Structure 1
Amino acid sequence: MQRIGLYYPYIHFRDEEWMKIAALYWPRMARVVPRGFPVADHETAAALHTELDFLVDVDPQEAAEAVAPRFLHVLNDHGTELRERYLADAARGLQTNSSHEPSRVGGSIPVVTVEPTSQTDHLTLPVGRRPLAGLYWDELESGLRSALFDSGLAVATTRSRLADQPFLRWVATDPTLAWVYKCALTEELARRTRYAPTTDQVAAHGATDGWDTDRIAEALLDRQTAVVDSDVARHIGLMALNFVLPANLDDVPVEKIINLRKRYEGEFTAFTNAVSAAASDLEANLAGIEDPQALREHLKVDFESRFRTPLQDLRKAMNGLHLKTATGIMNYKFELGSLTTLLATVAGQGPVTAAGVALGAATMRQATAEARDTQMRNSQVGYLLRIERNLQPASLVQRISRSLARGAGTGV
């Protein structure tokens, strides 16, 4: 079964190059969009959604209600420790009204200045100078929201340096606390939807750590142990893509990626199904591995046998088909030309020679193209070869060669 990605920890995608890679691997990409949030996607995300129906917006309300009791439990058990680390209001001299509704004018209004993050460098700063991260108002259940305000771990605001829209309601809190909440919320959404958490943040693969009350407390109080990112399917799929992607993917127009997905949908499906099958085979055998390096080594060995070697074999097959066809057409033209020249001498039918050669060459091109397409469709790595040939920058000689190959029916 093809998997749908679940982007976190943000609503808007931060890295356009990552977005292009995501579109080459994930059939669709879900992301958390609270009701009423004004989405403003960049051009790459907008084009992928318009042309491929790529994005799926997920309302987090039910998941937020499910995770709220866990955080309330942690607040009840560790409130004093959490206030010592993550105090958001008192040291800043901020005032909130009894309803916790953010003020729009006047007073000392808190400002959201950073995104949720797993980095903790800000904790070395004095409390009053630490940055605040923003959780959108409806990303939190109302009871948890009030508890965070009452404990001084969050303040209400409508001001953010990260959003262009004025008067959005934010729950401004410590970036680490916001990060842990985002991970727990994402995991709950993944459980409910069977979407697979994925992110463009390098150090962010934490949404599948098992966010129960103990794990939340450990993460917030720096008592957590290292967790191996065990999403086997994502690891294998991205290994395969990185093997064929151009170094300058950022310069590749998103239209090329859209065209690739549309034109070779069958081969894309074969590839993603192969990745899922590989993951299913490996997950049982690799379960319980606690060493990240060991996990990577096991995956690399499997990747070599399932994808890299077959891709090399397919390249050779395509190149061999090209050579065989070029030779065959030349021989066919020579033999047909000699025969028709002789017939023309006898019968005075000179024009038959050119027409016959053209018809014969066209027939051979069609047969070769059919053989090529059959071989590509039947290979689980045909899609990878399409990416390599269509997205890699080519020299003038390579472009001419590929043009000739397509003319002969062998280009991919």
Structure 2
Amino acid sequence: MEQPAAGGVMASIALYYPWMHFQDTDWLKLALLSWERVVRLRPRTVDDRDSEVVREIRGESDLLREITPSRRDLETVADAFFEILGYEDLARELNVLRLQTADPTLRVAEDFSPPPSQRLREPGHHPALLWIYCGGTGTKMSFALRRQLIEAGLAVQVDEHDPWVGLHPRLGTVYLTALADTVARHNTLSPVTDDPGMHHAVGALDRLADLIDLPVTPALQDTRAAYAQLSLRAVIRPERIASVPVVRLVSFRQRYASELAAFHTHIGSLAAELEQIAAVENSEIAQAHLQALYERTTKPRLDELRRALRAFGVESTVGTLGLKVDLGAVSGTVLGTLAVSGGHPAMGAGAVALSVVPYIAGRLKARQLQRTQSPVAYLLAAEQMSRRSRLGIRV
């Protein structure tokens, strides 16, 4: 079975899973600052239940893309499921008919109930089941696997024309996670989710039996994706991102596209450490390791960039540009002579301007060079953007 690529630069395109609609708009706003694209497995024929924020991001940016699994994707996942369908206890534990005859409000502790935006409202679709779209060209399951699941009592269909197949939530979430893992492998994508209770997608295809046997527990998503989010949250407080209009985030995203690419390269350079963290089973400890890695690697570079920019004597403050002129650096110029003479009034203002402008231009150019060469310049820009937005300054 194929293995995900290790090391190298992180994929700059994310795959959202397991649902078709985003659950956390603040998470999506950060995703707008984290990824070149975010794709989701959402057939165009299903109902649009996106929030207004999601629709605004769809209309104002090129962030979101919608794809459907390929035949190869579906067959890869089906082959993996065929290997475990022979387990004797599987049909008894995850029988959908047993679940349908139970209380409609039934929520077994170890099962993950789909969020409201993912539940079907049509008659006949039992609310305790997880319904997966299997209609037309946008199907998320192969015909062969769907037929075998139904025959084994592990799936149910209202009638032969119904494009939805209902599964026990435990089995359904495992299937969707394995599908995300497969699509990500085949298309060099980074699986990401805004659902903290979801399975870890990376490697899910190789551990189906374990995932079905164990209850759903919070798991750290792709460590590279998690690290990008952690870094942005370190410079943009969660309460700030909620107040930043989408149009400003889109403008920032377009302006700093090259800096974002450099930041992805920086995260890729931490691949060895991130792979070790990915092996940590406890999600809280894994988060602590990510935080420690940030404090040890990325934060010092960010602090160094701030110091370097201050050293150029041109400091960006909120709403103003402050200039601190180094007299030693301008000695021998008209400006230097003016300073040494104590600002003699005989010195014309035009002559001073002719000396000051090239000096400042040179400092600004050096400052910009320092900034563009830093792999963490994107974080500094994001920090400044959030501060200006908080004070109502247009960016």
TM-score by shorter chain over 0.5? yes
Aligned residue among 20, 24, 42 for 2:29? 20
Summarize the Cα distance change of 1:335–1:205 in structure 2 as closer, same or farther, 3 Å threshold: farther
Give the partner amino acid of 1:317: A
Partner of 2:378: 383
Partner of 2:130: 133
Report the alpha carbon displacement of residue 292 of structure 1 after superposing the two structures with TM: 5.2
2:156–2:166 Cα contact (<8 Å) kept: yes
Once residues 285 and 112 of structure 2 are traced to their aligned partners in structure 1, the CA distance between those partners, rounded to angstroms, is: 29
Partner of 1:236: 227
Aligned residue among 64, 84, 87 for 1:77? 87
- The question of 1:204 aligning with 2:198 is answered yes
- Single out whichever of 177-186 and 353-362 deviates more from structure 2: 353-362
- The question of 1:150 aligning with 2:151 is answered yes
Partner of 2:116: none
Partner of 2:294: 303
Once residues 301 and 359 of structure 1 are traced to their aligned partners in structure 2, the CA distance between those partners, rounded to angstroms, is: 49
Aligned residue among 263, 273, 281 for 1:271? 263
- 1:272-313: CA deviation from partner (whole Å, max 9, x where unpaired): 11011112x425666855565665554444322321112122
Give the partner amino acid of 2:230: M
Report the alpha carbon displacement of residue 386 of structure 1 after superposing the two structures with TM: 0.4
Report the alpha carbon displacement of residue 244 of structure 1 after superposing the two structures with TM: 0.2
Partner of 1:318: 309
Provide the aligned length of Structure 1 versus Structure 2.
354
- The question of 1:7 aligning with 2:16 is answered yes
Alignment of 1:273-292 (within 5 A): 273-279=265-271, 281-283=272-274
Partner of 2:3: none
- The question of 1:342 aligning with 2:350 is answered no
2:131–2:164 Cα contact (<8 Å) kept: yes
Once residues 121 and 232 of structure 1 are traced to their aligned partners in structure 2, the CA distance between those partners, rounded to angstroms, is: 22
- The question of 1:173 aligning with 2:158 is answered no
- 1:81-137: CA deviation from partner (whole Å, max 9, x where unpaired): 33433333367579xxxxxxxxxxxxxxxx9x99x9995277xxxxx9971221112
3-state SS of 1:89 partner: helix
Give the partner amino acid of 1:86: L
Q: Percent identity?
A: 27
1:318–1:372 Cα contact (<8 Å) kept: yes
Summarize the Cα distance change of 1:286–1:77 in structure 2 as closer, same or farther, 3 Å threshold: closer
Give the partner amino acid of 1:201: D
User: Gapped runs of 5+ residues in structure 2?
Assistant: 1-8, 114-124, 316-321
1:2–1:272 Cα contact (<8 Å) kept: yes
- Single out whichever of 177-186 and 66-75 deviates more from structure 2: 66-75
Partner of 1:108: none
Aligned residue among 154, 169, 177 for 1:183? 177
1:209–1:227 Cα contact (<8 Å) kept: no
Report the alpha carbon displacement of residue 49 of structure 1 after superposing the two structures with TM: 4.3
| Alignment TM-score, normalising by the size of structure 2 | 0.74
- 1:52-71: CA deviation from partner (whole Å, max 9, x where unpaired): 42223222142122212332
Once residues 363 and 299 of structure 2 are traced to their aligned partners in structure 1, the CA distance between those partners, rounded to angstroms, is: 25
- The question of 1:88 aligning with 2:96 is answered yes
Once residues 38 and 394 of structure 1 are traced to their aligned partners in structure 2, the CA distance between those partners, rounded to angstroms, is: 34
State the Cα RMSD in Å.
4.0
Once residues 27 and 308 of structure 1 are traced to their aligned partners in structure 2, the CA distance between those partners, rounded to angstroms, is: 23
Partner of 1:102: none
3-state SS of 2:40 partner: strand
Aligned residue among 96, 120, 124 for 2:111? 120
Once residues 276 and 112 of structure 2 are traced to their aligned partners in structure 1, the CA distance between those partners, rounded to angstroms, is: 38
Once residues 220 and 288 of structure 1 are traced to their aligned partners in structure 2, the CA distance between those partners, rounded to angstroms, is: 19
Alignment of 1:213-232 (within 5 A): 215-222=207-214, 229=220, 231-232=222-223
Partner of 2:117: none
Once residues 109 and 63 of structure 2 are traced to their aligned partners in structure 1, the CA distance between those partners, rounded to angstroms, is: 28
3-state SS of 1:258 partner: helix
Summarize the Cα distance change of 1:35–1:82 in structure 2 as closer, same or farther, 3 Å threshold: farther
Give the partner amino acid of 2:325: G
Once residues 354 and 69 of structure 2 are traced to their aligned partners in structure 1, the CA distance between those partners, rounded to angstroms, is: 61
Report the alpha carbon displacement of residue 191 of structure 1 after superposing the two structures with TM: 1.7
Partner of 2:188: 194
- 1:21-74: CA deviation from partner (whole Å, max 9, x where unpaired): 112112211211347445554444444445542223222142122212332343
| Alignment TM-score, normalising by the size of structure 1 | 0.72
1:333–1:361 Cα contact (<8 Å) kept: no
Give the partner amino acid of 1:71: F
- 1:256-286: CA deviation from partner (whole Å, max 9, x where unpaired): 211111112221111111011112x425666
- The question of 1:64 aligning with 2:62 is answered no
- Greater relative contact order (Cα < 8 A, sep 6+): 2
Once residues 56 and 131 of structure 1 are traced to their aligned partners in structure 2, the CA distance between those partners, rounded to angstroms, is: 30
3-state SS of 1:211 partner: helix
Give the partner amino acid of 1:170: W
Once residues 72 and 82 of structure 1 are traced to their aligned partners in structure 2, the CA distance between those partners, rounded to angstroms, is: 12
- Single out whichever of 234-243 and 175-184 deviates more from structure 2: 234-243
Aligned residue among 232, 239, 248 for 1:256? 248
